[in-house]
A and B are shown apart, each in its own frame.
Chain A
Amino acid sequence: MEYLVDLAEKILNEALNRGAQDAIVRVQEKVYESIVFDNGILRVCSISRVSGLGLTVFVGGSVGYSYASIVDRDSIPKIVDEAITVAKALEYGSEKRLVCEEVKGARGSYRTEFKVNPFDVDLETKVKLVSNLNNESMKKEGIVSAFTRYGCEIDRKYIVSSFYSKVQVEVVAIGLSHLAVARYGDIVERVGDQKTFIGGYEFIEKFDWSSFVNEINDLAYKASQASTITPGVYQAVVDNELVGLLLHEAFGHASEGDAVYSDLSVLKGRLGQVVASEKVTIVDDGMVSGGYPVPFDDDGIEKKVTYIVKNGVLVGYLNSIVTAKKLGQIPTGNARAQDITFNTIVRQTNFYMLPGDAKVEELFEGIDYGVYLKGRGAGGGQVNPALGTFTFGVGPSYIIRKGEIGELVRSVIVSGNILEVLKNVDMVANDLNVSTSVFGGCGKMGQMVRVGDGGPHIRVKKLVVGTR
């Protein structure tokens, strides 16, 4: 990657010399180690490397982006030419600057601290860990299939821009995921979960993976013996693992500046309006503990804490330098790209609800018949921010009867409306939890980026609950 860093400033200067009003050069190298045991057999043991360079140019009122994996001094003119040529082909002819005037690029660096470099740990040790967990799972009662995965990613970026950005970021994320499929009679059910740390192999060494995997196996087997919930509308307590998924789908995407600008968000034109109960405050924070570190965005802008909802009122959107200009707002450091084959779009970083003051047990009081929705095994979600309709999967959950947690139910999904769901939050607990994943992330326009999400336990007056 070093030779690409050397070339980055040369490419930036070349782009500006050749007529770009503004330009951003992003150099990236991602290394991903993956070890997978599937039903006792090693299926993947690989270290893959993705690297290259991307150039964004702002010229003549339009945006051009070019990228290449094969880059050397001789190919600089070609990369610059491609970006400028495609931008000029749009022939907008405007001299208006596309990024906001007051944009101030960040200068600095961030590096994940670690004690043990995961790539220094010998392969046999890692293979043995995953093998043991997977093979032990296959011996458990009721488990008919088990898929166990170790993942470690080092994501290095170097970004320079015409607005003086010069940032270097290196994030190390490491973790383990496990999927158990259980059978009871004719009923087959699955539960998957993962645990990710930002740091080195010391986290793998310290964590009790045996208990983690066993809990998933047990839950899968219990779920295969549980009944399904009757579809309908329920009063619900949402746990602090699931609440982040709810917020990400129900509110995060609709608050993204590009959706707002292109009139594809129901939150457009609602700044200053009440969109949630007064107990709800939501932020997007690049550096919260437990989340995925985003100290600077991929346009080289510092990512600060952004308030989206304050005491129930919509107070902000997430913006890149481009959407900020279009919406007349300030950049919030939310321009992100999956890798060099994509230009940046507006993305969440770590989107979560601030804790309230209720104790978790107080949330169940007074619920005559409801559901306790759990995050373990949830599996993800999706939203159409223009319609305001969202959905997400839920792990095995529990019926609530007269304030008490009752029987387990399996195969749950939730559907809802962005403008209604957070207005129905009537209690917020004090147990904030934020987490991330090295195995997945958020998908938008064909790009996947690592994100974090979270919040405390919350109580919702009504949610549409279905099965899957």
Chain B
Amino acid sequence: MIDIDRLIGKTLKRAEELGASEVELHVVEEKSVSIYATSKGIEGIKKGTIVTADVRVSIGKKVTVQGCVVSSENDVLNLVEKAVSIARVVPEDPNWVSLPRNCGYTTTFDLVDDKVKVFDIDMLTSIVKEALRLPPQVDRRASANEVVVDTGVIRKWIANNYSVNPVSYEKTSFSFVVEVKASEEGFESSYYRYYNAPTLKEFDLEAMVRDAVNIAVATLKAKPIETGRYNVVFMPTVFAAILRALLVPAVRADQVQKNRSPLARKLFTKVLSENITVIDDGSAPNMIGSAPFDDEGVPTKRKTVIDKGVLLTYLYDTYTAYIDNQESTGNAIRPGLGSPPIPSATNIIVIPGTKSVEDIVKDVRDVLVVYATIGEWLSNPVNGNLGATVTNAIYYRNGEPIQPVKGVAISGNIYRLLNEDFEELSKEVELAGNMLVPAVCVRNVAIAGEKSG
């Protein structure tokens, strides 16, 4: 095995010898075990370890990042040499000021689960087998057609020439997906639920499977509804996907600075309904985006991004913070090997409302409740236009289910839907990846369905 602490020391020294003004090393070791099953049983299991490294160097205002999968200590030293040689020839970045000078830690909770860390294959297979066993017991029309359990242990080290010691942390991850299929009289439907968090603390297998079965069965005879404008409840996982596609890019400082955000020049103005408060929290307990520091070593923190509809801050890494004369908000994320950090969301939390989904559906009278969509990521963050296709929905009238719906395209602009067309947030919240959000009810959603518009 490679001695990472020794390697960090050698790397920083080598960069200095080669003439780098600044150097940063980011090393990640990721161990994982994954099990995949279909309705026929467990199909396969994989286990492995991969170590990656990124080196960022500057020579004056010339900056570059180089990355590689590490097979030996020499790979990292070669990476430094390559980084310095490339930094010599690239054009200057007029916006470059400095690597972070404030690396450190924020106290975090529920980042490591010892049960996940030990990779107990028996425990993992029993989870998979239980997920395969339960659906027909909940409803004879249902079966689990795909179950995936993925567990990981991530160790991360970051050091730069301004830090006395490298910062490091260990984190576990547990991800579970169950796709349930329902069949009856030639009709078929499917619905999936997932859990992704550092620990098993909030993992409730039975509740997830039950929920997936109920929705798959309830949407069995789904078909398109007529083209028109509808009141819509986006259930939490759908609302999370919409926020991920449209709001998160819009509050990224780099997108704002590059004229790719409709929220540019909107700080301290009302951009959403006063009922909506959005928090980015990089140290929230048991959320997958949490860590003691971000991907350039800056301590994470909790910040209110939108307070009662008013935009209070963008999300910054060190580079974009210097441009706006701000401090990093601890939101540096590395999108891939050899890429410079970008500012993006850690965990997004939307403060819930006070009514239950059931009461909202009753009170709104005519409403389409959307449980799942595909293609919401095709939405356009530069103008906030939402576009998605419904796969699981139920049309309710006076609180009664009238018709399950699928195959319709939904459209609208989130800055209208979550402002003048906003109706309500539910009191129930759900963990959807790095988001903890309620359901949202909005009016006036354009739906392309059965007939021409």
Q: Which residues of B contact A (CB under 8 A)?
A: 1-2, 32-33, 36, 38-52, 64-72, 82, 86, 89-91, 93-95, 121-122, 125, 143, 145-146, 148, 179, 181, 188-190, 222, 224, 227, 258-260, 262, 336-340, 374-375, 377-380, 382-383, 385-391, 406-411, 446-453
CB pair A386–B190 under 8 Å, yes or no, is yes
Report chain B residues within 8 Å CB of A356: none
Note all chain A residues with C-beta closer than 8 A to B336: 48
Q: Is the CB of B224 within 8 A of A464?
A: yes
Q: Are B43 and A63 in contact (CB under 8 A)?
A: yes
8 Å CB contacts to B: which residues of A205-236? 230-234
A70: which B residues are within 8 A, CB to CB?
1-2, 49, 51, 70-72
Instruction: Say whether A393 contacts B378, CB under 8 Å.
Output: yes
Interchain CB contact under 8 A, A468 and B448: no
Which chain B residue shows the least CB distance to A179? Answer: B260
- A49-B39 contact given A69-B51, A393-B378, A468-B385, CB 8 Å threshold: no
Q: Does A305 contact B (CB under 8 A)?
A: no
Give bound CA distance, A383 to B380, whole Å.
Answer: 19
In the complex where A87-B45, A263-B145, A411-B380 touch, is A34 in contact with B93 (Cβ < 8 A)? Answer: no
Contact of B449 with A39 in the complex, beta carbons under 8 Å: no
Measured CB to CB, the closest approach of chain B to A453, in angstroms, equals 17
Q: Which residue of B lies closest to A32 (CB)?
A: B338
A63→B46 CA distance, assembly (Å)? 8
> Which of A123, A131, A233, A263 touches B227 (beta carbons < 8 Å)?
A233
CB pair B69 A50 closer than 8 Å: yes
Contact flag A69-B70 (CB < 8 Å), given A43-B340, A232-B448, A384-B374: yes
Residues B386 and A468 in contact, CB atoms below 8 Å apart: yes
Roughly how many angstroms separate A262 CA and B377 CA in the complex, as a whole number? 26
CB pair B387–A62 under 8 Å, yes or no, is no
Cβ–Cβ < 8 Å partners of B386 in chain A: 468
Please measure, in the bound complex, the distance between the C-alpha atom of A178 and the C-alpha atom of B428, giving whole angstroms: 42
Whether A50 pairs with B68 at a CB distance below 8 angstroms is: yes
A242 at the interface (CB under 8 A from B): no
CA–CA, A415 to B90, complex, Å?
44
Contacts of B52 in A (CB 8 A): 69
Mark A residues whose CB is within 8 Å of B. Answer: 32, 34, 38-39, 41-52, 54, 62-71, 82-83, 86-87, 89-90, 92, 123-124, 127, 131, 144-145, 147, 181, 183, 187-190, 230-234, 258, 261-264, 266, 326, 340-343, 379-384, 386-387, 389-393, 411, 413-417, 445, 464-468
* Complex contact B452–A263 (CB within 8 A): no
Nearest-neighbour CB distance to chain A for B86, whole angstroms, equals 6
Known: A89-B121, A384-B190. A464 touches B407 (CB 8 A): yes
25 inter-chain pairs at a CB distance below 8 angstroms, sorted by A residue, are A42-B93, A43-B93, A43-B340, A47-B82, A47-B338, A62-B45, A70-B51, A71-B71, A86-B33, A86-B45, A92-B41, A123-B89, A127-B89, A181-B260, A189-B383, A231-B446, A231-B448, A381-B378, A391-B375, A392-B375, A393-B375, A464-B448, A466-B389, A466-B447, A468-B380
| A261 adjacent to B45 (CB under 8 Å) | no
A70-B2, A89-B121, A231-B411 known; A42+B90 contact, CB < 8 A: yes
Point out the residues of chain B lying under 8 angstroms from A124, CB to CB: 89
CB-based contact A391/B378 at 8 Å: yes
Q: CB-CB < 8 A to B86: which residues of A? A: 45-47, 123
A47 to B1, CA, bound (A): 25
Q: How far is the CA of A387 from the CA of B145 in the complex (A)?
A: 13
A466 touches B383 (CB 8 A): no
Query: A131 to chain B: which residues have CB within 8 Å?
Result: 91
Give the nearest-CB partner of B56 in chain A: A46
**Which of B91, B181, B338, B378 is A42 in contact with, Cβ under 8 Å?**
B91
- Whether B45 contacts A65 by the Cβ 8 Å rule is yes
A41 touches B338 (CB 8 A): no
For the complex with contacts A71-B71, A445-B36, A467-B387, 8 further pairs of A-B residues with Cβ separation under 8 Å are A42-B93, A48-B338, A50-B69, A64-B47, A65-B46, A232-B227, A387-B406, A411-B380
> Which B residues are CB-close (under 8 A) to A262?
38-40, 145-146
Residue ID in chain A nearest B224 by CB atoms: A464
Residues of B near A382 (CB, < 8 A) are: 374-375, 377-378, 389
Decide: A66 and B408 in contact? CB cutoff 8 A: no
Known A89-B121, A231-B448, A415-B389; contact A65-B90, beta-carbon cutoff 8 A: no
Indicate which residue in A65, A188, A258, A387 contacts B262 across the interface (CB closer than 8 Å).
A188
Kindly list chain A residues whose C-beta atoms are within 8 Å of the C-beta of B122: 89
Taking CB atoms, residues of chain B closer than 8 Å to A48 are 66-68, 336-338
